[in-house]
Amino acid sequence: MTFQEQIQQGIPSVLPKPKPYETDINHAPKRKEILSTEEKKLALRNALRYFEPQHHTELIKEFSEELETYGRIYMYRLRPDYKMYARPITEYPGKCEQAKAIMLMIQNNLDYAVAQHPHELITYGGNGAVFQNWAQYLLTMQYLSEMTDEQTLTMYSGHPMGLFPSHKEAPRVVVTNGMVIPNYSKPDDWEKMNALGVSQYGQMTAGSYMYIGPQGIVHGTTITVLNGFRKIKRSPKGGLFVTSGLGGMSGAQPKAGNIAGCITVCAEVNPKITHIRHSQGWINEVIDDVDKLVKRVALAQANNEIVSIGYLGNVVDVWEKFDEENIHIDLGSDQTSLHNPWAGGYYPADISFEEANIMMADNPELFKIKVQETLRRHTTAINKHTAKGTYFFDYGNAFLLEASRAGADIMAENHIDFRYPSYVQDIMGPMCFDYGFGPFRWVCASGKPEDLAKTDLIACQVLEEMAKTAPEEIQQQMQDNIHWIKGAQENKLVVGSQARILYADAEGRVKIAEAFNQAIAKGEIGTVVLGRDHHDVSGTDSPYRETSNIYDGSRFTADMAIQNVIGDSFRGATWVSIHNGGGVGWGEVINGGFGMVLDGSKEASKRLASMLFWDVNNGISRRSWARNEGALFAIKRAMETQPLLKVTIPNIVADNLLDF
């Protein structure tokens, strides 16, 4: 069968033969035993409902073994034989260009060069899944190949509920992930529902088909590192940034450190992912001996080098050893998947990676104890460095939250706030999000590198023209973004699809998108898919990350994210998504995303102007109502440019009136 025929057949009527378990692939760790005997039977019933009854006898034993061995039913047998990657849009079967673009984006999320655990359909973050099993993937791709522009596909946590009649201006796909009743949002609730096959953790851009590899966070990480050094009034040159995590999004850190111009040490316990990042050029060197690491870093500091070093080992050893040897750390953070601390997101010290994986599945209570012991050690070592002048910030991965739950010395003197800020509180919130700057993305659906190069040039020209008249308040952001896009090609950021990320405000996003659409209409480039990271101005309500610099008491509300997705859906998005969970954990965040296909048409031009303006200004308005100074400036400026926009502005109460 051709690739197109395989897509169109969906779940095959004749079952493929079982596939061997490929040990050279980076697999998800075994999930802990959480289902009762009756619940295991229910999980099997749920899995088998994808198949005709004549196949049940053959599959039930196999699926039962998967559940026992891996803690989940992945249906490995149904994994396609064709190579998984984002093909040019013309190679996908279908009746609808928008649906073909979505198929392209789904396959990019599962590309072996992109996905963290491709055989388990997990893109990043240890549990950020595109689908729960391979039957869902096959059925979804089949539906998309049949879809017309008068239908909408509804996705329930990876399950394609079906194609429903709609209309041309409606979203082609509406995605929900993990949207459970609030009282059932504890980590073990996810473990159970995911094992039953009824819910999944979509992370942010995994379950919404908008992941573009580590590049997706490189720009934001670069801005964070640059502004971190600016905050401590030190040049990045010769400065040391210490962090950990080389998996999905965290793998961007060493590349960002190189772009910012500092020395980066990034620890990682997983040998496979460490060597993958090294082979991809995302880290310059790999060292597995902490004494050798000390000597190498001291040399780099003495020579003011720009270098990224992957330390194959536990980051706690780095913090402790650097303290003993008086290696000064300028910036410190952590980007392990601490939203998922008990299932592979964070590993205990003094235990090998292999032993920890066994303990995680076979003795989860002991594993939890060891993780929390390590968090306390980790925090103690960080505190010693900050006493010497290190600037440490939480990177939005729930480090501070989980350290506090472990009883670490992480609280401020008031015993209410954390000792250290979230990077959104200190850097990204006041410097970017409040002004509307966030991670705008695009993918060249032709798959041609030359199309990506043309879009880079177009975006740069738009930004340089805007910078001529931009107000002083956002000149730094504009110049950082121009510098970024000019260096995008030489920094070799592409992994998987021909994609780019660029921090831009609403005006920039609309103008860049319109310039792309005009170039498509002229035949200069092919179809372009727009999107963004959910880690943005408006899409995500997350009290310990995206909305951590909201101080009016509304940090724990999620109106903004829900309004964002509803508003995007009727303003022209090609697909929309809303998730429970993200980088800080299940039950800790609600986040929404979108995708938009530009085809050069007048309709696309109208949609992009309407949707992108709302997608950003929804968040700015919420931030301005919280009395954030930058957001007040930004929303007033937006109202001057758009007469149909009228936002409620807060009245500021004098501090002395509250002293009674």
Residue ranges of the binding site for NAD(+): 125-126, 203, 268, 395, 583
Burial 238-247 (b: 16+ CB within 10 A, else e): bbbbbbbbbb
SS3 state of residue 97 = helix
Q: Evaluate whether 293 touches 287 at the Cβ level (below 8 Å).
A: yes
Nearest CA-CA partner of 126 in 269, 310, 280: 269
Per residue in 73-98, is it b (16+ CB within 10 Å) or e — as a string?
bbbbbbbbeeebbbbbbeebbbebbb
What string of DSSP letters covers 296-362?
Answer: HHHHHHHTT--EEEEEES-HHHHHHHHHHTTPPPSEE---S-TTSTTTTSS--TTS-HHHHHHHHHH
Q: What is the largest CA-CA distance in the chain?
A: 79
CB 502 within 8 A of CB 270: no
What's the gap between Cα 590 and its chain centre? 13
Burial environment of residue 562 by CB neighbours within 10 A (0 to 12, 13 to 18, 19 or more): middle
Nearest to 88 by CA among 529, 574, 549: 529
Interhelix angle 97-109/134-146, nearest 10 degrees: 160
Please name the residue ranges forming H helices in 422-557: 423, 429-431, 449-467, 475-486, 506-521
With CA atoms as reference, report the closest residue to 116 among 108, 124, 105.
Answer: 124
3-class state of residue 64 by DSSP: helix
**Sign of the dihedral through C-alpha 358, 202, 121, 313:** negative
- Measured CA to CA, the distance from residue 644 to residue 658 in angstroms comes to 36
Side-chain half-sphere of 555: how many Cα atoms within 13 Å? 15
Integer CA distances (angstroms), 541 to 110, 526, 567, 578, 619, in order:
27, 34, 16, 11, 10
Q: Which residues on adjacent β-strands are paired with residue 444?
A: 528
| CA separation, residue 149 to residues 136, 162, 373, 599 (Å) | 22, 15, 54, 14
Query: What residues are designated binding site?
Result: 125-126, 203, 268, 395, 583
d(CA 239, CA 242): 10
Nearest to 637 by CA among 512, 546, 507: 507
Is 22:81 a contact under the CB 8 Å cutoff?
no
Alpha helices in 23-152 (DSSP H): 37-48, 56-70, 97-109, 134-146
Measure the N-to-C terminal CA separation of the chain; round to a whole number of Å. 79
